Amino acid sequence: MGGKLMNKLPKIGNTELYTVRVLNMSVAQYYGVVKEYNEIVVATRELNKKELEKNGDKGELNLYYSVRYNLNKLVLEKLKGEK
């Protein structure tokens, strides 16, 4: 039974999930795109609702990695607009 629990690695997954969320939000705050970033997260979460329910923390982790691309686009647009 202990082997099955070790395969899930919830503590490591949660730590990675926490780190990804914090890094994404820190970038959004630094560049002043928090509102836009949160809108993207909410929309993506809604689109992937079934996957998130099915995959739990792993689905949540995938969500935050997938929205990072959009966050980078927001930052790029912000930087281009400031020049």
Phi then psi for residue 9, to 5 deg, are 50, 55
| pLDDT, mean of each 10-residue run, the chain (83 residues) | 42 75 94 96 95 91 94 95 74
* Distance separating alpha carbons of residues 20 and 14, to the nearest angstrom: 10
Quote the DSSP letter at residue 76: H
Token reading at 49: 């609702």
Q: What is the pTM of this model?
A: 0.77
